[in-house]
Amino acid sequence: MSVVEITCAFCGLPANKRAGDVNRSRKQGYAVYCGRKCAGIGRRQNKSAEELKERKRLYDIQYRAKNAQRLKAEKAAYYQRTRDPEKERAIRKAKMAQHVEYCRRPEYRAYKKQYDREYRARMKFGSFWESHMLLVDLETEVNSQASRYEVYMEKGTINKMQKRKRDYEKSYCR
């Protein structure tokens, strides 16, 4: 076993290392260090706290995406183990007045009206929900511009007594 004297790439002090280790390190393009401590410190990537936080944030996003089902199941199990229905009821009761006031706000009412309209259309008409909403809007606009007389003419109910008489004659007097 031959020994070679090297200069540490981190601390700069001379040290004796085996020739095979030095040759392997240099062949692969690695720096040669005097010991484990200098090697660990020398290989550190000097990154700022912000860079480390960003790296961790990106890792967390990937981890959550990859393990979403397991994490959701674990959270649900933890919630079932630790929940207190009475405490939850008290919290809901304390926030109820604030929630009622929020629901009375005009911007919430407008949002909720539009949301409910879309929800019902999606449930009833599936992939044609947008067409249904356009049709309802069109009918509303047409009806808003028609006079009462035009609406009654369209329905055929200008004079209900006359309409009933005609319907009766069509049905029974042939």
Burial of 137 (0-12, 13-18, 19+ CB in 10 A): exposed
Residues 30 and 58 in one domain: no
What's the pLDDT at 174? 64
Establish if 157 belongs to a structural domain.
Answer: yes
Helix (H) or strand (E) holding 17: strand 14-18
Establish if 54 belongs to a structural domain.
Answer: yes
Per-residue pLDDT at 59 exceeds 70: yes
Pick the range with the lowest mean pLDDT from 44-58, 104-118, 126-140: 44-58
Residues 34 and 66 in one domain: no
Q: Read off the pLDDT band of 169 (50, 70, 90).
A: confident
Establish if 37 belongs to a structural domain.
Answer: yes
Residues 77 and 98 in one domain: no
Residues 60 and 108 in one domain: no
| Tens-digit pLDDT profile for residues 61-85 | 999 999 999 999 999 999 999 999 9
Establish if 88 belongs to a structural domain.
Answer: no
Average pLDDT of 45-56? 89
Number of domains the chain is built from: 3
26 Cβ neighbours under 8 A, 6+ residues apart: 32
Establish if 167 belongs to a structural domain.
Answer: yes
What's the pLDDT at 116? 96
Residues 110 and 166 in one domain: yes
Q: 166: domain range?
A: 93-172
Residues 123 and 168 in one domain: yes
What's the pLDDT at 166? 80
Residues 99 and 167 in one domain: yes
Report which listed range, 14-28, 138-152, 156-170, is most confident: 14-28
Residues 110 and 150 in one domain: yes
Residues 107 and 152 in one domain: yes
The answer to whether 24 touches 3, Cβ cutoff 8 Å, is no
What's the pLDDT at 144? 86
Establish if 87 belongs to a structural domain.
Answer: no
Per-residue pLDDT at 112 exceeds 90: yes
Residues 134 and 102 in one domain: yes
158 φ/ψ angles, rounded to the nearest 5 degrees: -70, -50
Per-residue pLDDT at 43 exceeds 70: yes
Average pLDDT of 131-135? 95
Residues 40 and 58 in one domain: no
16 φ/ψ angles, rounded to the nearest 5 degrees: -105, 125
Residues 69 and 102 in one domain: no
The answer to whether 163 touches 156, Cβ cutoff 8 Å, is yes
The separation between the first and the last C-alpha atoms of the chain, rounded to the nearest angstrom, is: 123
Establish if 132 belongs to a structural domain.
Answer: yes
Establish if 70 belongs to a structural domain.
Answer: yes
